Amino acid sequence: MSTDRPRESGAEEPDTSPGQKIPATDAETSPVSEPAESKEPETAATESEPARPLRLRTLLIVAAVLLGLDLLTKTIVVSTMTPGKPIYLIGDSVRLTLVRNPGAAFSMATGMTWLLTLIAAAVVIGVIRIGRTLRSLPWAIGLGMVLGGALGNLIDRLFRAPGPLQGHVVDFVAVGWWPVFNVADSSIVCGAVLLVALTLFGFEPDGTRMHRQQAASGAEGGTA
C-alpha cells in the first residue's frame, strides 16, 4: 500500500531561499483595468430639438376653405335676395339682408374704398410672406383665416360694381345692433382675435413658447 500523501497545493510553487522575493505575476503587477468610459456624445443633452414642419400648406388650406365659403354664400345671396327685403331667422335679432358695402369690415371707412383695396392686397402679400417660414399650427390657422377673409373682400373690390378698386363688398348677415357683415369679415375678426391671444400667451410663429425660452435661459444663467 502506498503511503505517499497528495502533495499540498503550495508544493507546486518553486522553492525559494529565505529572503528571496518571489517575482510577481503579470496578473498581480498589471493595474486593474477600469471599465472604459462611454465616449458616445451626449446627444440627448446637446442635440437641438428637431425642427417643426413648415405650416404654409395648412395656412393655404384654411384660407382656401374660407374663401370658397365666402364666395359661395355671396353668390347665393346676390342671386336670391333683394336689397331692402330681409329674411328673418330668429325674430328680429338674426336676419339675412343684402347690403352693398363700399367700406371696410362692418361698414367702416365707406369713403376710402380704393385705399382699403390696397390695404387688403398688402395684407394678402404680407401673410403669404410670413407663412413661408411659419411653423406654428395655431398661427397657421389664425393667419389662414385672415388671408381667406382678406381675399374674399379683395375679390369683391376688384370685380364687383361700380368698378376695379371701387367694388362694393356684399354683406348679408345682421345680428341685433351689430353692423351687417359676411363670412370674410367674420374670418378676419376671428383670425385676428386668435393671433392676439397667441401673442399674449407667448406662442411664437416658429412653434416655440416665450415663457419656456425664458425659463431655459434662466436655468442656464443659474448654472453658469
Q: Which residues are tagged catalytic? A: 171, 185
**Alpha helices, H only, the chain:** 26-29, 43-46, 56-80, 113-131, 137-159, 183-200, 210-223
Taking alpha carbons only, the member of 26, 59, 48 closest to residue 140 is 59
**Integer angstrom CA distances of residue 110 from 115, 142, 167, 169:** 10, 26, 11, 11
Residue 94, beta-bridge partner list: 90, 175
Compute, in degrees rounded to 10, the torsion defined by CA atoms 202, 203, 209, 210.
-30
Alpha carbons 9 and 182: distance in angstroms, whole number = 104
Beta-sheet pairing, 87-90 with 169-175: unpaired
